[in-house]
Amino acid sequence: EQEDFGIDFSIEGLYGDFFRDEKGSFIESHILDYPRHIRKMSTKERQTYIQSHVEKNARAFWKEHPFYADLYLREVKKYEAVEKEGGNTFRPHFSEEFHFNTAKLIITGTDWYGEGLQIIEIDLTDRNYQLIFELTLEE
């Protein structure tokens, strides 16, 4: 089974990076509520505002791969539909290629791995190879 590498719809995962506007995150963690400018909106207005920013941020993240943004946003909608019905069993279905390219964007676009790590591109165009990797995160 493919590890999700944080590519899920939780605030702690990749979705949390999209769940924001120019003023910051849509959830104030110390009170577990929306920031004041979001709380002032009607429910419908808030939902539209948040969805538009999640979409905008996802498209910016996958700017070189708009197909991945479309795929991710489609899975978000499926997740939200299942969640509305009271279920929490939805697991997104993404290809290995999607996971690999998204993980690469996360790694190269952030400093989550700390200092001192260098990513080196290897040219394997004329060889058969098998990509083997393991990710272990310790808390």
Task: List, for residues 29-76, the tens digit of each pLDDT value.
Answer: 666 678 888 889 999 999 999 999 999 999 999 999 999 999 999 988
For residue 111, name the pLDDT band (cuts at 50, 70, 90): low
Q: Give which of 82, 104, 84 is closest to 93, Cα–Cα.
A: 82
Which of these ranges, 71-75, 89-93, 133-137, has the smallest mean pLDDT? 133-137
CB 13 within 8 A of CB 4: yes
Give the domain extent around 120: 1-139
pLDDT for the residue numbered 30: 62
Task: Report the domain count for the chain.
Answer: 1
pLDDT at 24: 85
Mean of the per-residue pLDDT values of the chain: 77
**Alpha-carbon gap, residue 82 to 69, rounded angstroms:** 20
Q: Looking at residue 70, what is its pLDDT?
A: 95
Whether the predicted pLDDT of 23 surpasses 50? yes
What is the structure's pLDDT at 63? Answer: 92
State pTM to two decimals.
0.68
